[in-house]
């Protein structure tokens, strides 16, 4: 029996609290374009790919060239903010990443963020050595809730989908995990409903046996 198992981590809102940095970056970048968005618009799009967000915000003015230019400027600003101000893992993250690593779990980032953003965050966290792979916006054609990002992450780790557990903070991400045939842990810091197999307000509250129990339940379902 293949004993390999993997945890596929979303990044923004799951590993780190990057909401305010993204909000500042979008505000400043769009202001230079004469475009304004509300906090509600921003929050409803959080965790999605830029090439799906910007056409909705720009409307008829969303030419491919303009979308690419604005997205690039925004991400440059975001990375500069992280380099300047740093970023911290959310409560419980560092402990769980370490425990999973020591327990032999493979760990992969599966995010809608650009690869350069992911690398900047991992460098700020001094965590580049912990993860066995990264799947970013450049690696997939379809955003969450499409399962592509998770299936690619599982393939890169060399682990079957039913041996993977996804950790997410967004409904679309949890739906993507379900569509990939994977169990999921939802982190709901603001009390929003997440259709995950296990939901906590903080990873600090997870029981020590949670990851193993989820895999065991997945195995029982398929036997």
Core vs surface per residue 9-41: b (16+ CB within 10 A) or e? bbbbbbbbbbbebbeebbbebbeeeebebeeee
Q: How far apart are the first and last CA of the chain?
A: 13
Half-sphere exposure of 128 toward its Cβ, with a 13 Å CA cutoff? 10
Q: What angle do CA 212, 216, 220 make, to 5 degrees?
A: 175
Catalytic site residue 2? no
Task: Give me the sheet containing 133-135, strands edge to edge.
Answer: 133-135, 106-110, 6-9, 164-168, 183-187, 198-200
Distance CA 185, CA 107 (A): 14
| Catalytic residue chosen out of the listed positions 2, 10, 190, 197 | 10
Half-sphere exposure of 216 toward its Cβ, with a 13 Å CA cutoff? 5
Catalytic site residue 12? yes
Q: Which tokens in the block code for residue 58?
A: 């720009």
Active-site annotation, residues: 10, 12
């Amino acid at each position: 029996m293949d004993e390999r198992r993997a945890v596929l981590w979303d990044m923004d809102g799951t590993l780190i609290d990057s909401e305010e940095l993204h909000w500042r970056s979008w505000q400043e970048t769009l202001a230079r374009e004469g475009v304004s968005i509300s906090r509600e618009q921003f929050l409803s799009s959080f965790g999605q790919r830029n090439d799906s967000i910007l056409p909705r915000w720009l409307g008829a003015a969303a030419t491919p060239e303009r979308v690419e230019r604005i997205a690039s400027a925004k991400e440059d600003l975001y990375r500069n903010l992280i380099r300047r101000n740093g970023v911290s893992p959310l409560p419980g993250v560092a402990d769980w990443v370490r425990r999973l690593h020591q327990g032999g779990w493979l760990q992969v980032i599966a995010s809608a963020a650009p690869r350069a953003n992911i690398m900047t965050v991992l460098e700020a966290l001094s965590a580049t050595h912990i993860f066995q792979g990264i799947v970013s916006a450049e690696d997939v054609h379809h955003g969450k809730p499409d399962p592509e990002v998770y299936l690619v992450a599982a393939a890169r780790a060399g682990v079957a989908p039913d041996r993977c557990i996804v950790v997410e903070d967004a409904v679309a991400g949890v739906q993507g995990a379900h569509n990939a045939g994977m169990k999921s842990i939802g982190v709901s810091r603001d009390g929003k409903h997440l259709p995950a197999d296990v939901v906590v307000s903080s990873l600090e509250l997870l029981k020590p046996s949670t990851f193993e129990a989820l895999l065991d339940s997945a195995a029982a379902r398929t036997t």
